[in-house]
Amino acid sequence: MSGYALSQPIWEEGKKYQYVELTLPIRVRDRIEGLKFSKDTYGYDEADAILVYGLSKTGVFSQAAERDESGQVLSLKDAQRLNPETLLNLSYRDLIELTKLSQGLGFSDSTKASSDRPSSTSEQPGTAVRAN
């Protein structure tokens, strides 16, 4: 994924951000830190706040993007990370879409890494393996 155009822009420090690119997969550490962010912000475990925190660590946002003839986002210009507090203003539609897109990140890297390790089973990356 090169970039995603938000359905509704978000604002931070007077700047309007309309595009995002997910550059890293969300890691377990991001979720754990997101839980702390949620509890500090709301006083309880709020799943959407945890997701927003993860996106703040893995996504970069931009005011402008380079597009192809069909309008597809090719690359972002002057992209930067935004605070999770800002990302709480994402439309719910965008939060759900970015969450879906983030689930596919990292599989090509993990596939290569897992194929470099010896395995005693015929497991495929991304599939469940039953423990005996």
Domain ranges in the chain are 4-104
Q: What is the pLDDT of residue 67?
A: 81
Tens-digit pLDDT profile for residues 72-130? 777 788 889 999 999 999 999 999 999 888 877 654 443 333 333 344 444 343 333 33
Q: What is the pLDDT of residues 29-43, one digit of tens each?
A: 999 999 999 999 999
Q: How far apart are CA 109 and CA 128, in angstroms?
A: 18
Q: Strands, E, within the chain: which ranges?
A: 4-12, 15-22, 59-62, 64-67, 73-77
pTM beyond 0.75: the answer is: no
pLDDT tens across 51-61, in order?
Answer: 999 999 999 99
For the beta carbon of residue 72, count every other beta carbon within 10 angstroms.
11
